[in-house]
Amino acid sequence: MDTVILLSRLQFAFTIMFHYIFPPLTIGLGIILAYLETRFYLTKKPVFAAACQFWMKIFVLNFGIGVASGIVMEFQFGTNWATYSRFVGDVFGSALAAEGIFAFFLESGFLAVVAFGRQRVSRGFYLFSVYMVALGSIFSSVWIVVANSWQQTPAGHHVVDIMRDSGSGMTPWVIDGIVQRRAEIVNFLDLVFNPSTVQRLSHVLLGCFAVGAFFVLSVSAYFILKNRHQEFARHSINGALVLALISSLGLAINGHTQAQNVYRYQPAKLASFEAHFDTGRADLNLIGWPNEKEERIDFDISIPGGLSFMVFDDLTFSKPVVGLDRFKPEDRPPLLLSYMSWRVMVGIGGLMIIASVLGLYYNWRRTLNDKRWLLWCFVFGIGLVMASNQAGWIGAEVGRQPWIVHPPVVWNEDGSDLVVGADGFYEYQEREGLRTVNAVSPAVNAQEAATSLILFTILYLSLAAVWIFVLDRKIRKGPEEIEITEDGTEHGFQDASSERQHARLSQS
Amino acid sequence: MSYELLCIIWFILLNVLLIGYAILDGFDLGVGFLHPFVAKDDTERRLVMNSIGPLWDGNEVWLVTFGGALFAMFPEAYASIFSAFYLPFVLLLFALIFRAVSLEFRSKRTSPAWRSFWDILFFAGSTLAALLFGVAVGALMQGVAISERGDFLGSMLDLINGFSVVVGLFTVALLAMHGSIYLYMKTEGVLQQRLYGWMKGSWYVYVILFVVVTIWSTMFVPASLQHFRNTPVLWVVPLINVLAIANIMRAIRQERPFYAFISSCLVIAAHIILFSANLFPNLVPAANNAAYNITIFNGASSRLTLTIGLIIVAIGMPLVLSYTSLIYWTFRGKVTLGPDSY
């Protein structure tokens, strides 16, 4: 069973990280598409249509892989995490179903018009379709983040015994002496707006916008460096730099308040992020390496009292912060992974702010084209931005361990410390949560789990290689000129029907 | 509204989602199966692929929504079925990924080797997906051995037997027929004439397998007839089914492909209703102990979740249907190749 748990966790981590390459790109590019198509609609300048067309092709490519790798995630809850699915289905499933009905249909339907329908619909309807695609891709992030936030900070539900007809009325369902339980909805709105939904959703969306902005910056900077498609690159870079700065700054501000929220509801997670072992005044560690055995940070360079300030906005730098010593060893998240992913995310976030400020400054001085070192930073920066997105999620999910559904945390009356037992440790209410080790499918054996993991690894690595290859060619080719006729419709039915004639001729 | 009624409504809604998926993505999968056989050169292959180009991912959303709804409304069944069919479903996911990426990647280079590679994956992905859907249906009809908690006790080989494989082949034939009628409507010229033969041929194969599956299930899968004895009105469904099958050939002969297409949609819907009627009220029949059956009542979510789900559907479904029809209307008519095509 231990092997199955390990393999299932590896498989989930691997498949979700692969999947999460694509949604941030489509969500971020959706905003860019909406902006460019609006400019085209208002100005009728062909450069905007060409730019929109170029990003749209990349959007479609990413969307296709995103959809296919997304179905894997939906199936995987059932295939590998059956016990979890039974426990959370009543609350988690409705969010997933809502996502399908409200977001995916909208996105995929209108994407068909955007990708294939420029010649088939009016300009106004085309613009509307672009908006709907952007909206649909944003919606698609809403419900899954709601569901994930519920796992972090559950609300609007209660955990109940499953009742079964035992012949003499409904009684709790007991198997091998264990009462079977599950979470059930009590209040849908409390579930949707659980204590972390709004914070986390804002953070996720800002992260996606940053990916979109830095992706556009990367490609545009490449064109400027290679002295190609200058007009296109200039137009793209102006908007992208603004979006990059807004989203990076937003991430920092929102990240600060979100960390405070994490401390309130998941203190063990924040303590692991910061490798904060001893409850009390907390330093903000800048450089170091956590030493789990001796419960300290090696090579430690810290701001004294810095974490106390960050958690409580406390100007005295002295308020006590609950540390890992409040939790039993088996209730602590994996330390090194939480600590490192948190640092990678925050560190890259800082670089993003610096890069976008510099970019905007030089762009304003009209000297950006001469700053080749900065342009090269932008070309490869997208890799770091995506790594930052991934690291954020690793921190969020690893920091939640050992729980798959985190139980609520009880604070003392003035909220300064946890209510601890006689042994000095915080006692989680086991009944209210679900441990990851208890969540896997009993029906799956190690051989099956290993087979699927190996197959997924091979498939996804080859897909990633082909994707990068195709994307690279597409970017190198650059945007294509779009002919605009006098009434503002490009290509138009004439071209379409001549293509059709051609298709007919080549058949016969 | 009583809790039992809510469960039954959700069972019906799941059928609606499944029928929607099978009809819409059904022709996509059928087109994928026919792709290497009916298209002889690159232009024809592109025409075949572009006939489903703007539609396939929207069609696949029906499966996503079906999966989400099953998870939300009948979590016990979702967890048991998906973990029982572990490797077959992993393969199914691979098949759907192959189908998706071969559509996206094929057009990105012109080299014949590149295109042939994605052609093969497109065919293999579509065919494997159809086959596995059928195998899963066939295995579920016979019931599976599960523990009291609903966890599968057998191995993958228990799921793959004569009956489930025949249902798998039957599904491939059905979707090939469905797809060929769809392609016939979307194409013209030589390609369309070639499809005429495929429509007829796949109809004959389908009818033979239909007879085999019907006899096999009525004689050897005892559960399949019980509801017809108790509720004779159900006989309407197989009646419509048979009439629709006959009408497909009639419409093909009269060269009225749209009527044939409507009939084959009816056939697909009838098959799914028959499958559900044979399961009802079970979602997962336990072959080892009927007391362990996961039914639509003991496997359902709470009353509040079922009600919230209904509200979501009431708001969402009209929207979904309106933009689905909008998209199909936008892309009506014969498929053509333009600058945006795959």
Nearest chain B CA: its distance from A179 CA (Å): 11
What pLDDT, on a 0 to 100 scale, did the predictor assign at position A499? 45
Q: Is the pLDDT of residue A505 over 80?
A: no
What would the mean pLDDT of B41-68 be, rounded to a whole number?
88
Q: Is the pLDDT of residue A496 over 50?
A: no
| Inter-chain residue contact B338 with A180, CB threshold 8 Å | no
Q: How far apart are CA A365 and CA A93, in angstroms?
A: 52
What pLDDT, on a 0 to 100 scale, did the predictor assign at position B118? 92
A410 shares contact with chain B (CB less than 8 Å):
no
Please indicate, yes or no, if residue B150 is contained in any of the structural domains: yes
| Inter-chain residue contact B336 with A182, CB threshold 8 Å | no
How many Cα atoms are found within 13 Å in the side-chain-facing hemisphere of A352? 38
Closest CA to B284 of B273, B297, B266: B297
C-beta pairs of B313-321 under 8 Å, 24+ apart in sequence: B313/A101, B313/B13, B316/A98, B316/A101, B316/A102, B316/A105, B317/A101, B319/A101, B319/A102, B319/A105, B319/A106, B320/A101, B320/A105
The minimal CB distance from A86 to the residues B75, B89, B326 is found for B75
B contacts of A65 (beta carbons < 8 Å):
100-101, 104
B contacts of A108 (beta carbons < 8 Å):
57-58, 60-61
Burial of A35 (0-12, 13-18, 19+ CB in 10 A): buried
Q: How far apart are CA A50 and CA A43, in angstroms?
A: 13
| Inter-chain residue contact B75 with A116, CB threshold 8 Å | no
Q: How far apart are CA A340 and CA A343, in angstroms?
A: 5
Q: Residues B273-287: pLDDT tens digits?
A: 988 988 888 889 888
Nearest chain B CA: its distance from A20 CA (Å): 16
| Inter-chain residue contact B90 with A442, CB threshold 8 Å | no
Please indicate, yes or no, if residue B288 is contained in any of the structural domains: no
Q: Residues A426-481: pLDDT tens digits?
A: 888 888 899 999 999 988 989 999 999 999 999 999 999 999 998 988 888 888 76
The number of domains in chain B is 1
Please indicate, yes or no, if residue B287 is contained in any of the structural domains: no
A contacts of B92 (beta carbons < 8 Å):
75
Q: Residues B196-254: pLDDT tens digits?
A: 989 999 999 999 999 999 888 888 777 667 777 788 888 888 899 999 998 888 988 88
Q: Is the pLDDT of residue A27 over 70?
A: yes
A contacts of B309 (beta carbons < 8 Å):
94, 97
Please indicate, yes or no, if residue B339 is contained in any of the structural domains: no
Q: Residues A322-345: pLDDT tens digits?
A: 888 889 988 999 999 999 999 999
Residue of A nearest to B299 (CA): A86
Q: Residues A372-411: pLDDT tens digits?
A: 899 999 999 999 999 999 999 999 999 998 999 999 998 8
Please indicate, yes or no, if residue B137 is contained in any of the structural domains: yes
Q: Is the pLDDT of residue A486 over 80?
A: no
What would the mean pLDDT of A89-106 be, rounded to a whole number?
84
What pLDDT, on a 0 to 100 scale, did the predictor assign at position B24? 93
Residue of B28, B38, B57 to mutate, interface with A, max A Cβ within 10 Å: B57
| Inter-chain residue contact A466 with B338, CB threshold 8 Å | no
The minimal CB distance from A85 to the residues B61, B71, B337 is found for B71
DSSP per residue over B252-305, as a string?
A: HHTT-HHHHHHHHHHHHHHHHHHHHHHHTTEEE-BSS-GGG-EETTTT---HHH
pLDDT confidence bin for A484, thresholds 50/70/90 = low
Q: How far apart are CA A503 and CA B190, in angstroms?
A: 11
Please indicate, yes or no, if residue B304 is contained in any of the structural domains: yes
pLDDT confidence bin for A493, thresholds 50/70/90 = very low
How many Cα atoms are found within 13 Å in the side-chain-facing hemisphere of B73? 31
Residue of A18, A55, A71 to mutate, interface with B, max B Cβ within 10 Å: A71
Please indicate, yes or no, if residue B341 is contained in any of the structural domains: no
What pLDDT, on a 0 to 100 scale, did the predictor assign at position A390? 95
Nearest chain A CA: its distance from B207 CA (Å): 32
Domain with B326 in it: what CATH number?
1.20.1630
Tokens 């994928």 map to which residue?
A: B32
ipTM of the complex: 0.89
**Rounded percentage of chain B residues whose pLDDT exceeds 70:** 99
**Cα distances (angstroms) measured from residue B335 to each of A499, B25, B186:** 11, 17, 5
Range of the domain at B181: 3-282+294-330
Residue of A nearest to B341 (CA): A116
Please indicate, yes or no, if residue B73 is contained in any of the structural domains: yes
DSSP per residue over A339-404, as a string?
A: HHHHHHHHHHHHHHHHHHHHHHHHHHTT-GGG-HHHHHHHHHHHHHHHHHHHHHHHHHHHTTTTEE
Helices B3-38, B112-142: inter-axial angle, 10-degree rounding:
140
What pLDDT, on a 0 to 100 scale, did the predictor assign at position A483? 56
**Alpha-helical regions (H) of A226-334:** 230-265, 267-273, 306-312
Q: Which residue has the higher pLDDT, B100 or A502?
A: B100
What would the mean pLDDT of B291-305 be, rounded to a whole number?
90
How many Cα atoms are found within 13 Å in the side-chain-facing hemisphere of A8? 29
Residue of A nearest to B192 (CA): A507
Residue of A58, A75, A181 to mutate, interface with B, max B Cβ within 10 Å: A75
